[in-house]
Amino acid sequence: MSTITGRQHQPARPATVSPRRGPGVRAQAGHLGGAVLRRLRIARGIHEIALLATLWVFYSLSRLVAANDLVPARGRATDVLHLEKLAHLDIEAWLNHALAPVTEIAVPMSFWYATLHYLITPSVLAFVYFRHRSDYARARNAIVIGSAIGLVCYLLLPTAPPRLMPGSGYLDALSRTASFGWWGGDASAPAGLGHITNELAAMPSLHVGWAVWVAWAMWRYAGVAGRALCCAYVAGTCLVVIATGNHWVLDAVAGALVIVAGIAISGRLAGRRLRPAPSSA
């Protein structure tokens, strides 16, 4: 006890030394954490590839069971053309006859039609997955839902493209330029695989739909030049699908609409996931 304050002294506590991790331990932990993250990303990537591949297989198989009766399909195409004439949108014959006979124009258009949607669409999907992961689920759902709507249209309302209309004089640009590329005379299928494609899948045009999806998916990340390129890709695809004799103008409009529907539905789904659960009182 202190003779000055009258307080009793507390016994001194032994000093404790907190263990510190050396730089080697911290580096090893960081390395292990990075390896785990890489494995998780690879696993998620494989899962996404498997999911999209499965959807593509079902998409291709369902095209095989679609009706292939040309008579009703041509009847629907006639109705489409009649609506276009009423709205003064029937530019297919003029555009096809102006561009398809010119080899220097027809060959690039055929490459565009047969190739770009196979390259650009998955490339944009991969870009969003690796660079903007938080936006990926909605982007993937948008194109899957929109494509599914288009597929239902193919099954329920098979419609002939202009190049299959009798006595119309439409030129089949891809068939005329098949010797320049890997495609055959059946839509954009590789040479020799025309029997596994649905040639009556004109309405809607998913070539245009996927181009609209690409523009939407990239819009928020692109600058002025990038957005101009997105618009040019959509406009160029619309021009190509019509000028090659593969789609009507209203096919292009319908293709854009089904993807817009997919974007809207995917947005609603994303909003539901982000909405907080109601608290139980």
Residue 196 has pLDDT above 70, yes or no: no
Q: What confidence category does residue 2 fall into, taking pLDDT thresholds of 50, 70 and 90?
A: very low
Span 80-108, average pLDDT: 96
For residue 153, which of 86, 188, 205 has the smallest C-alpha distance? 205
4 in a structural domain: no
Total tally of structural domains belonging to the chain: 2
* pLDDT tens, residue by residue, 129-180: 999 999 999 999 999 999 999 989 988 999 999 999 988 789 999 989 988 8
Question: Across-strand partners of 201?
Answer: 159
pLDDT of residue 69: 84
Rounded Cα gap, residues 74 and 80, in angstroms: 10
> Quick one: 142 and 175 in the same domain?
yes
> Quick one: 61 and 193 in the same domain?
no
* pLDDT tens, residue by residue, 26-79: 556 556 666 676 777 677 778 777 777 777 777 666 666 777 788 999 999 999
Comparing 160 with 181, the larger pLDDT belongs to: 160
Per-residue H/E/C for the chain: CCCCCCCCCCCCCCCCCCCCCCHHHHHHHHHHHHHHHHHHHHHHHHHHHHHHHHHHHHHHHHHHCCCCCHHHHHHHHHHHHHHHHHCCCCCHHHHHHHHCCCHHHHHHHHHHHHHHHHHHHHHHHHHHHHHCHHHHHHHHHHHHHHHHHHHHHHHHCCECCHHHCCCCCCCCHHHHCHHHCCECCCCCCECCCHHHCCCCECCCCHHHHHHHHHHHHHHCCCCHHHHHHHHHHHHHHHHHHHHCCCCCHHHHHHHHHHHHHHHHHHHHHHHHHHCCCCCCC
Most confident of 160-174, 193-207, 208-222: 208-222
- What are the φ/ψ torsions at residue 101 (nearest 5 degrees)? -70, -15
Domain that holds residue 42: 26-65
3 in a structural domain: no
Q: What confidence category does residue 281 fall into, taking pLDDT thresholds of 50, 70 and 90?
A: very low
Comparing 196 with 102, the larger pLDDT belongs to: 102
Residue 3 has pLDDT above 90, yes or no: no
> Quick one: 228 and 140 in the same domain?
yes
224 in a structural domain: yes
47 in a structural domain: yes
238 in a structural domain: yes
pLDDT of residue 29: 54
257 in a structural domain: yes
